[in-house]
Amino acid sequence: MGRRPTIIDVARLAGVSKSTAARALTDSPDVNEATREKVRKAAHTAGYERNHLAVGMRSGRSGLFGLVIPDITNPFWAEVARGAQDIVGENGASLLVFSSDWDHDREAAHLRALRQARVEGAIINPVSDNVDDFGRFGVPFVLIGSSAERFPDTPSIGSDIAQAVRLGLDHLVLLGHPTPALILGPKSRLARARFLRTVHEHCLERDVDPGALLVEDSDYTFEGGYAAMQRLLARRPIGHIAVFCANDLIALGAMLAAREAGRECPRDVSILGFDGVPAGAFSWPGLTTIEKPAREMGRRAAMALFDEIAGRPQDGRIYLPCRLVERGSLADLGAQTPLRVAGVGRS
């Protein structure tokens, strides 16, 4: 259980100098194949493992990357983390993961920890302007998520909200819901404006008056969606009503509100979500939603980082397309056939 073996131990065991041992172990071409094999064997029998701290110190490459997200417990961010983890791992490096809880101070502390760990690069969902500072330290980083749009000069990865909204709207129109109600996030959010603008454009293109749409505000929570749906149902007490929700939690809350009001989904109410959270697959009916490519976002963010480090310059923001996941929460008003209510069907 004593001292871990160093390259000097290996060198001694192989009867070579430590520089030769190092060369052999780093697959340097300037070393005799027989010597290399000898060193390899010695390293193996000594149980040698390269000390990345020393390597990082000498070479400036720590083999460490950082990820700062709001909360690893949030399924969306967990997927992002997984994607980043996979790419970082494929490149022989390791990932430091931090949760900021949308807190400026925590974020600042985590960014400092990343710098002190001498990470080679970082993926950050920015909650404040801390990242401006971060850029000054010369650590390559890419931003991720919608909050990254506030930093147009920094390479970033996001989902294509405009494309997603159009996808949802097209699908709703197809099923006979040309003027869906909207339950949106708080007015303060950038994403809300983008969502609404795209809806307006889509309406205009179809010659429908955007002003005719029912809109409710919410706060991206289950409870918020529940309350907003109650208001919506009060405003439109009869007839089928279709609702396009700004996220899945809102949609799930809306679904419960409808049920408790005796309006059955999808018979009396159609609900379309946005996110692709796992819980949507287990609700009743299953939640039809637009899935953000969370894992792919994490992967692409990590790839962008490696590209940047390798000197391949990154262009600004990359928008990844979203995908429609059909489950059972939308009625097909155009069809004469009885409604299909699927509960199973996970992505």
Q: Which stretch binds a second copy (CB under 8 A): 16-24, 68-76, 147-155, 227-235?
A: 68-76
Q: For the segment 224-243, give every residue that binds DNA (CB under 7 A).
A: none
What DSSP line would sit under 160-195, residue for residue?
A: -HHHHHHHHHHHHHHTT-SS-EEEE--TT-HHHHHH
Asked if 283 interacts with a second copy (CB under 8 A), we say yes
Tokens found for residue 86 = 């996979």
In the list DNA, a second copy, none, the entry touching 189 (Cβ below 5 to 8 angstroms by class) is none
Q: What are phi and psi of 21, to 5 degrees?
A: -60, -45
Q: Binding residue for DNA (CB under 7 A) from 13, 20, 70, 299?
A: 20
Total residues contacting DNA (rule CB under 7 A)? 27
CA distances (Å), origin 251, targets 69, 75, 172, 303: 24, 16, 15, 33
Minimum Å distance from CB 93 to DNA?
Answer: 14
Residue with tokens 């129109």: 173
In the list a second copy, DNA, none, the entry touching 30 (Cβ below 5 to 8 angstroms by class) is DNA
Total residues contacting a second copy (rule CB under 8 A)? 61
Minimum Å distance from CB 139 to a second copy?
Answer: 9
Q: For the segment 24-63, give every residue that binds DNA (CB under 7 A).
A: 25-26, 30-32, 34-35, 48, 50-51, 54-55, 57-59
* CB-based burial, 109-131: b 16+ in 10 Å, e otherwise: ebbeebbeeebbbbbbbbbbebb
Element (H, E) at 158: strand 156-159
Tokens found for residue 97 = 């993961």
- Terminal CA-CA length for the chain: 47
Element (H, E) at 202: helix 190-205
State how far the Cα of 31 lies from the Cα of 211, in Å rounded to an integer.
75
Asked if 56 interacts with a second copy (CB under 8 A), we say yes
User: What is the contact surface with a second copy in residues (CB under 8 A)?
Assistant: 1-2, 4, 47, 49-54, 56-57, 62-64, 71-73, 75, 78-79, 81-82, 85, 89, 94-99, 109-110, 112-118, 136-138, 222-223, 226, 252, 255-256, 259-260, 278-279, 281-284, 295, 343-344, 346
User: What is the contact surface with DNA in residues (CB under 7 A)?
Assistant: 3-4, 6-8, 16-20, 22-23, 25-26, 30-32, 34-35, 48, 50-51, 54-55, 57-59
